[in-house]
Structure 1
């Protein structure tokens, strides 16, 4: 009897968690989903991971290496992602340099997670914009940009063109260099494929525009097998009953482009903010 009583209490506790009974598909990049998965699991949800993005080196290191060799020419170093930071410092070390090379530079980052990645290299950012989006970087920049030379290590393709354009409109000389590349994975985890085919997913989360684009590519492979005459299907048709959850405005734009809607957008553009937004969505269903 005590054993049965204990089991009942355990079951009661689990069902009172905010996302109990929900299945959440996480589409972060390979090797970067575990922290977010733990957050979602803590809410009582079932988590299925489907990495929709791989981070890899750029097609050439030449531009980044040349910029590192000439760091003394720059006034500011702009870092908008942990990936950019990690590859930048990888090349710094490969060129037999260290953080002392950055002594004459001011460093701006976007978001606390990016700031923490910089601190892992024993450096403090000189500027973090108040909002966790790149657009806020220009709006709140701490000094006049006219006449400043800015180094921007970034993704090789598909990055924030608006950010660079606005810096240049403010009079800055911006040198863009490829620090990494984002690619679509070749494979889909079996558990994710089965869950999408069976319609058992309640929420799909997106933490970047690229994961939206690459998820759509991967999902087309899955759903084309179910379409008549083996014609590619419209992925959005298969997601009609699924909540599309986005980390912020730029990601939401991609969701609108590929799926025609976004159901949840985080108020704070972080993984914690995205988790809370999904909890709020689930609460409104009750």
Structure 2
């Protein structure tokens, strides 16, 4: 850009010099100014085109800005060199023709200095505009990045809180509530008739308070899989017929006859899914005789093993 201006100025000076050497009329000052104005306008158009392209993308802005700064530095350096050359040429030209065209030379020198000053001011103004637009662009970009980071941080925080809440729910679901009981018959002899509910009145453990020692029935407070166990001891030369029932439906049955005089004890157990509110108990299926002492327990127990 500055090369074109300087080349144009050099051409004008040479033209003036040749015109004086050929004793031709001096070129019109307005024609000269018009040509200079055209060059300035073309330079201004080029600068405006470069300014429009800056806003396309951040990467292009940085690249173009770097180029502009480099070109500006080169232009300033070139302008200084050309200005010195121009001053030298003008001074030489003035010395060579001062006696004939002193007035014209002074006017031309003033015009050239004014043009240089005007062009320099315009270049500085364009540079300031570019700096302001680049600064605005980076400020807007930084604000957008800050908003995006803030939104992302909020989303991550919300996700962490939601995940923690879901984990707490899962942990609560994985906790198996305690529901366990064990009760015994402490009487030495217990005679049962057919289809009689067996009551175990002495309670050793009753976690969850599901077992009723007055009825001998366990009522589930939690839906899940339960394991029930019954141990009974048989009177010598007697028979015991027992079953574990769930809501009146048989889950497990056992029969034992003792003819050895050892008062043998037998255990039966069964697992079953029991709904909340359902009852499980022990019942005799036929006439039976239970025996109990310090080493022989008649007991009924149950525990929740899975929810």
Q: State if a TM-score over 0.5 links the two structures.
A: no
Normalised by the shorter chain, which TM-score bucket? under 0.3
Bigger CA radius of gyration: 2
Larger % of helix: which? 2
TM-score with structure 2 length normalisation?
0.20
Point out the structure with the larger strand share.
Answer: 2
- Give TM-score, length-normalised by structure 1: 0.21
